[in-house]
Amino acid sequence: MQAAARRPRTNHLDLAQRILDVARQRGFEPGARLPEQQIASLCNVSRTPVRAALSLLAERGVVRWEADTGYHLAVDLAAQPAISAELPSAVEDELAEAILRDRSARRLDQTVTAAALMRRYSADRKTVLKALNKLTEENLLDRAPGQSWLFRRTPDDPEAQGESYEFRLLLEPAAILTPGFRLDGARAAALRQGMDALSALPDAAFDTREFQRLDMDFHGMIAEGCANRFIADALADHLRLRRLPGIYAGVNVFRLRQSLLEHLNILDHLESRQYEVAADLLRIHLRLSRNQRPQAASRGAPALFGMISRPE
């Protein structure tokens, strides 16, 4: 019980992660000063939780405190892209991840109850409800009648993966081509640094979890850049469904490296505002990724390069 009492609060952990994300997106380098008021403004919170989150990061060696100037970034986030994975987890966050893992492995039925989860994980009701609420807020669960929750369908089987790629092929290129699309330059630069760092690692050290983070952040950046709120919201909701553990199971490192290069190529054209070319390249990228999962392919889609031919 004492160990549980010493766990950081969930909101402080979430804010610590947001601080790291902001630092990456804005290209902060080692030694960069992290003024509490500036961080509070960037994260849209008050200074009190920022101070607690920075203290948590200091305990992990990610930032350092200097009496005269305050907090400074102590690590190169671009060179250590997986640093966020070293943050501790609140007990309800760990339980939520365990629930997702067991659902992904089909150890849990589509419908679950709080009472059954309490027994399965030897957890108290308050913790279970917090974990269920967290998954509900992330649109991974829906509240069902009575004291039960229903898992939303996720792209974790061949048929669902095929439907997921069809959905993304319809909407992600459209997001880029929607009038008013805007690329977050600082976020794009941070993503480029992270992808370059991961690409430079040998196969034995290639971090699939870090690839998943970069992959979701890349596609999330495209969704958030869309000026059409309905397209942006639909893509953001679908993106959350892809955070299940093991979503990249069966995909070899060679293909993941290819995906990083495809992301970088798309990013080149987004940065130069060649949006039609970027959208075409994104279609190819999604088709190539889909074709790595044979059961999800051959669903009546046009030929791979059929979408990129243009009249002169």
Written as one letter, the residue type at 86 is E
143, containing H or E segment: strand 141-144
- The yes-or-no verdict on residue 141 having pLDDT over 90 is no
Are 228 and 178 spatial neighbours (Cβ–Cβ below 8 Å)? yes
Written as one letter, the residue type at 145 is P
Residue 4: partners with Cβ closer than 8 Å, 6 or more residues away: 91
> What are the boundaries of each domain within the chain?
11-73, 89-151, 158-291
Q: Do domains 89-151 and 158-291 have the same CATH topology?
A: no
Confidence band, pLDDT 50/70/90 cuts, at residue 247 = low
Digit-coded pLDDT (tens) for 9-54: 556 777 887 888 888 777 788 899 998 888 888 777 788 888 888 9
- The yes-or-no verdict on residue 98 having pLDDT over 80 is yes
Are 227 and 180 spatial neighbours (Cβ–Cβ below 8 Å)? yes
Phi-psi region of 44 (alpha: psi -120 to 50; beta: other; left: phi over 0): left
Written as one letter, the residue type at 62 is V
- The yes-or-no verdict on residue 279 having pLDDT over 90 is yes
- Dihedral in degrees, nearest 10, Cα atoms 133, 135, 141, 144: -10
Written as one letter, the residue type at 67 is A
Query: How far is Cα 132 from Cα 113, in angstroms, rounded to an integer?
Result: 10
The mean per-residue pLDDT over the stretch 169-183 comes to: 95
Confidence band, pLDDT 50/70/90 cuts, at residue 225 = very high
CATH no., domain 11-73: 1.10.10.10
Supply the DSSP symbol for 204.
G
- The yes-or-no verdict on residue 306 having pLDDT over 60 is no
Which one of 6-10, 30-34, 65-69, 167-171 scores highest in mean pLDDT? 167-171
User: Which pLDDT does position 82 carry in this prediction?
Assistant: 53
pTM exceeds cut of 0.85:
no
User: Which pLDDT does position 17 carry in this prediction?
Assistant: 79
The residues pairing with 71 across neighbouring beta strands, listed in sequence order, are: 65
- The yes-or-no verdict on residue 255 having pLDDT over 80 is yes
Within the chain, residue ranges assigned H as helices are 2-5, 10-25, 36-43, 47-59, 91-104, 114-121, 125-137, 158-177, 185-199, 208-225, 229-241, 253-271, 275-291
> Is domain 89-151 in CATH 1.10.10.10, yes or no?
yes
User: Which pLDDT does position 170 carry in this prediction?
Assistant: 95
Residue 78: partners with Cβ closer than 8 Å, 6 or more residues away: 24, 190, 193, 194, 196, 197
Digit-coded pLDDT (tens) for 120-137: 999 989 889 988 988 887
- The yes-or-no verdict on residue 270 having pLDDT over 80 is yes
Q: Which is higher by pLDDT, 25 or 299?
A: 25
Class of domain 158-291: mainly alpha
Confidence band, pLDDT 50/70/90 cuts, at residue 60 = confident
The mean per-residue pLDDT over the stretch 263-290 comes to: 95
In percent, the amount of the chain with pLDDT more than 70 equals: 81
Least-confidence region, from 55-59, 240-244, 290-294: 290-294
Average pLDDT over the chain, rounded to whole? Answer: 81
Residue 217: partners with Cβ closer than 8 Å, 6 or more residues away: 187, 191, 194
